[in-house]
Amino acid sequence: MKGECLSKWPLKKFEDFSNDVIVVDGLWGSGKQLVSTLVGGFDRVEHFKYNPDYDYLCALDHLGSINRNASTTLLQLIAGRNQYYNLIGREVNLRWRDETGPRYHPTPFKFVSRLFSKDGEAIALTIDEKNIANNITTHCIYPVMQPFIDAFGSRLKFVEVVRHPIHLVTHWSRFLEPSRWRRVREINLTVDCDGNKVPWFASSWAEQFAQSSTFDQALLSVNFLCNWVIDSYESKSVSGDCLHFIQFEKLVLDPVSELQTLGKFLGREQAKGIKKIMSQNAIPRKNIADGPKMGQSYRWTALEKDENVYSEAMKLIEQHGSAELVQTFLKTISRFNSTWQGPLAKYA
């Protein structure tokens, strides 16, 4: 019938790949890029890339703006397309400063040589025969990751990076400044609350976010997301062999044992290039804040002892945050410490 647009037939990705799909997720500022780069240092794993489509689909599924059949099918289509394009060099990033570019690739010349490679069904077969894994970076989707499970099943390896809330607030307070948050090039999924730009995860409390100061927006967001992650972890709403947690602080202080555990989870050996990756990211570290600066203004500018950095960050939070939210944040820290028992717990 003319004008009929609804189909009674479900969407489906036929003849899908069988390779592993590795997803590295975490809150903004949690250290996902470091972990994603290290994941790319394991045998037969692609160099990581960030495609926001994965974030959008999980968020839209959670918000009820897209049905599960559509979200899972699109995840399969996008992951398959991205991996095939990876292998034929169609999406090779040549920007020297980007962490997804050749400078931070374990074998940069091999990476760039894909620009001259052939395409065809043989490449698709190689992906499956050698189990060349996708290496996908996402943001803030662990509590809403069910579409990934439905889309990839036993192929999925989901790595959630957690970081102490004290460092997240300082990062978020800078990122949410209007000069950054309202930039045209920001590509985060947001909702419109009376003309105010609000992150998708805050849609249920959008008015509170919109009416708060920038610093309080950071406290609200970190409080909400950290507790949402812990709630999901404790309730085991998502559990099983597909899920692995990495504490950023433990990783940078003791990368050897953390990478051994990660390798067992991925079922892959470390490649030779992983030592280069560790060197570029200044691990292992004596202090957590001793990382490469990369020219980003939200990082600490001086190499300081963790105790001093923690104290300075807390003073900043108490100075700029509203009293009620600061008290809630202290409860978030307490809950985080009891859940993860990380190296910064002793400073609380």
Q: What is the pLDDT of residues 113-123, one digit of tens each?
A: 888 888 889 99
pLDDT in tens, 193-231: 999 999 999 999 999 999 999 999 999 999 999 999 999
Higher pLDDT, 7 or 230: 230
Residue 18 to residue 167: CA distance in whole angstroms: 38
Is 308 among the domain residues? yes
Tokens of 193: 């609350």
Task: Give domain status of residue 298, yes or no.
Answer: no
Q: How many helices (H) and strands (E) does the chain have?
A: 15, 7
Residue 83 and residue 128 in one domain: yes
Q: pLDDT over 90 for what percent of the chain?
A: 74
In a domain, 35, yes or no: yes
How confident is the model over 318-332, as a mean pLDDT? 97
**Residue 251: is its pLDDT beyond 60?**
yes
> 184 and 322 share a domain?
yes
pLDDT one-digit tens code per residue, 256-308: 999 999 999 999 999 988 988 999 888 999 888 887 754 444 344 445 789 99
Task: Give yes or no for a contact between 227 and 331, defined as CB atoms under 8 angstroms apart.
Answer: no
CA distance 37 to 339: 26
Residues 65, 159 within the same domain: yes
Cα distances (angstroms) measured from residue 317 to each of 41, 177, 188, 226: 36, 15, 25, 16
Total domains in the chain come to: 2
Range of the domain at 318: 165-237+304-342
Confidence class for position 348, pLDDT limits 50, 70, 90: confident
Predicted local distance difference test score (pLDDT) of residue 145: 97
Rounded distance between C-alpha atoms, residue 306 and residue 343, angstroms? 10
10 lies in a domain? no
Position 291 scores a pLDDT of: 74
In a domain, 6, yes or no: no
Residues 200 and 277 in one domain: no
pLDDT of residue 297: 40
| pLDDT higher than threshold 80 for residue 324 | yes
Domain membership flag for residue 246: yes
pLDDT given for residue 221 in this prediction: 98
Answer whether residue 39 shows pLDDT above 90. yes
Supply the pTM of this predicted model.
Answer: 0.92
Residues 105 and 228 in one domain: no
Is there a contact between 180 and 174 (Cβ–Cβ < 8 Å)?
yes
A 10 A CB-CB count for 16 gives 16
Average pLDDT, the chain: 91
Cα 291 from Cα 282, distance rounded (Å): 5
Q: How far is CA 175 from the centre of its chain?
A: 16
Number of residues assigned to the chain:
348
Distance CA 30, CA 36 (A): 12
Q: What is the mean pLDDT of residues 151-161?
A: 97
Task: pLDDT band for 4, please (50, 70, 90 cuts).
Answer: low
Kindly state whether residues 269 and 308 are assigned to the same domain: no
218 & 139 share domain: no
5 occurs within a structural domain? no
Last residue of a domain, one of 293, 314, 334: 293
| Same domain assignment for residues 90 and 181 | no
- Residues 194, 62 share a domain: no
User: 136 in helix, strand or coil?
Assistant: strand
Flag whether 347 is in a domain.
no
For residues 107 and 82, membership in a common domain is answered with: yes
**135 in the same domain as 70:** yes
Check residues 3 and 332 and name the one with the higher pLDDT: 332
Q: Are 31 and 161 in contact (CB under 8 A)?
A: yes
pLDDT of residue 239: 67
Domain shared by 177 and 147, yes or no:
no
